[in-house]
Chains A and B, each alone.
Chain A
Amino acid sequence: QLLLQESGPGLVKPSETLSLTCTVSGGSISSSSFYWAWIRQPPGKGLEYIGSLYSGGNTYYTPSLKSRVSTSVDTSKNQFSLNLTSVTAADTAVYFCARARQSYSSSWFETWGQGTLVTVSS
């Protein structure tokens, strides 16, 4: 059974960098036909796609966050990571990592981590 688990600080100061890691167990992060993604949800609000990375190295980010976001994969640890720079209170959210299956020329978020709340506050 594939499991994803987010980890990282729950509190980040304004203007600093938010860094999260997603640990994958029960499957290899190098598997083909999958994207590894980050999605966030501000308290009481809807879901926002942040970005995704393919095991082959391609990365995709939502334009509104592209200048502040980076992602990476550590295949030796079966982990992938998110960095979001220059955070503000608007970045306060539950952050989810997810695996997106790619098939029929489409993709869907098939497996999710439980989510981790990150609060931006001084």
Chain B
Amino acid sequence: DIQMTQSPSSLSASVGDRVTITCRASQSISTYLNWYQQKPGKAPKVLIYVASSLQSGVPSRFSGSGSGTDFTLTISSLQPEDFATYYCQQSYNIPWTFGQGTKVEIE
């Protein structure tokens, strides 16, 4: 299985901050990397697919980059509704695997 490692596991930030979350794959996965946001008690919601494509309806303050083994999710200006847990997921090989999550909390 391809292991996905996110960093940090959690972070505290303020409204308006620029936030960056990193995801590293245990082997090259090209750009087969997706990002999800999950709020407590809710299903995850896709934000970014194929590393950098913004899902329809997702605010443009979210962006993704990277290829190979290293990927980044950036929130350019954190909004109150962005406090949540974020997961990366690879779709290069089955079983598709997720990172352990990054919890974004209010500072």
- Which A residues are closer than 8 A to B by beta carbons? 46-49, 52, 60-63, 96, 98, 100-101, 104-110, 112-115
Q: State whether A107 and B96 are in contact (beta carbons under 8 Å apart), knowing that A47-B44, A112-B44, A112-B45 are contacts in the complex.
A: yes
Which residues of chain B have a CB within 8 Å of any CB of chain A? 1, 31-32, 34, 36, 38, 42-46, 49-50, 55, 87, 89, 91, 94-101
Assuming the contacts A46-B87, A63-B1, asked whether A108 and B98 have C-beta atoms less than 8 A apart, the reply is no
Q: How far is the CA of A102 from the CA of B16 in the complex (A)?
A: 34
A101 to B45, CA, bound (A): 13
Contacts of A106 on B, CB cut-off 8 Å? 31-32, 34, 49-50, 91
Closest approach, in angstroms, between the C-beta of B54 and any C-beta of chain A? 12
Alpha-carbon separation in the docked complex, A62 to B2 (Å): 12
Counting chain B CB atoms within 10 Å of each CB, the highest count among A48, A60, A112 belongs to A112
- Interface SS of chain A: helix, strand, loop or mixed? strand
Smallest CB-CB separation from A66: which chain B residue? B95
The contact sample of 6 A-B pairs, CB cut-off 8 A, is A47-B87, A49-B95, A60-B95, A62-B1, A109-B46, A115-B43
Please give me the residue from chain A that is nearest to B47 by CB atom: A108
